């Protein structure tokens, strides 16, 4: 019977670590066992985790200044100028004469090209100002810390459990096996002492 002690201790170690992994998410709702209340670690701490991650994203990972710099980069603006030119061309050659037929008598190719050239040059300087103003307004209205906190708080324990198992399957298995190995060693030591 004493020879089964390491096997039984290994099984107990594996079961304890398996239970520890389950306790991350179960019970999803607190369970009262007499004077003890069991909480799953994630469901119990979900709001605190959401607040901390929201603060991290809002303060450390997200920067409106970086976004403004990237969106107002002259190279990025030059990339959209051909699109603007194409729309201006359609507007000046087709839509404006339909809206104001009298102008069609005065607007020829050279005038259209001159107007386009001046408008594109003006828009080239206007776009960064418009984008900055737009992002300033958005920055005042959006609270990324709050948005991230709400999103994380809204994740169900089931979804978090699935994600955890998908991402950490190997590590969780090793943790359970570590419990079995610890139990086996403990059982062997107990068997030798006896």
Can you give the pLDDT at residue 43? 78
Q: How far is CA 133 from CA 2, 37, 63, 67, 171, in A?
A: 78, 53, 16, 13, 48
Is the dihedral angle over the CA atoms 35, 41, 43, 46 positive or is it negative? Answer: positive
Angle made by CA atoms 74, 79, 85, in degrees to the nearest 5: 110
**CA Rg value for the chain:** 33
Mean pLDDT value of segment 63-82: 82
What's the pLDDT band for 189 if we cut at 50, 70, 90?
A: very high
What's the pLDDT band for 177 if we cut at 50, 70, 90?
A: very high
pLDDT(30) > 80: no
pLDDT(149) > 80: yes
What's the pLDDT band for 15 if we cut at 50, 70, 90?
A: very high
11 vs 162 pLDDT, higher one: 11
pLDDT(11) > 90: yes
**Domain boundaries, given as residue ranges, for the chain:** 2-193
Residue 167 CA to its chain's centroid (Å): 16
pLDDT(170) > 80: yes
Tell me if residue 33 falls in helix, strand or coil. Answer: strand
């Amino acid at each position: 019977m004493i020879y089964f002690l390491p096997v039984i201790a290994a099984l107990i170690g594996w079961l304890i670590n398996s239970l520890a992994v389950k306790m991350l998410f179960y019970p999803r709702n607190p369970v009262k066992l007499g004077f003890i209340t069991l909480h799953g670690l994630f469901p119990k701490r979900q709001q605190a985790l959401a607040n901390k991650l929201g603060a991290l994203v809002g303060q450390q990972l997200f920067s409106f200044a970086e976004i403004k710099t990237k969106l107002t980069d002259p190279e990025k603006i030059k990339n959209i100028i051909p699109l603007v030119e194409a729309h201006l061309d359609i507007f000046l050659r087709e839509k404006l004469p339909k809206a104001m037929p009298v102008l069609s008598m005065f607007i020829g190719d050279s005038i259209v090209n001159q107007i386009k050239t001046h408008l594109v040059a003006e828009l080239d300087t206007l776009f960064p100002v418009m984008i900055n103003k737009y992002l300033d307004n958005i920055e005042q209205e959006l609270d990324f810390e709050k948005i991230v906190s709400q999103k994380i708080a809204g994740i169900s324990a089931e979804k978090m459990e699935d994600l955890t198992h998908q991402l950490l399957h190997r590590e969780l298995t090793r943790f359970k096996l570590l419990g079995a190995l610890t139990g086996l060693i403990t059982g062997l030591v107990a068997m030798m002492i006896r």
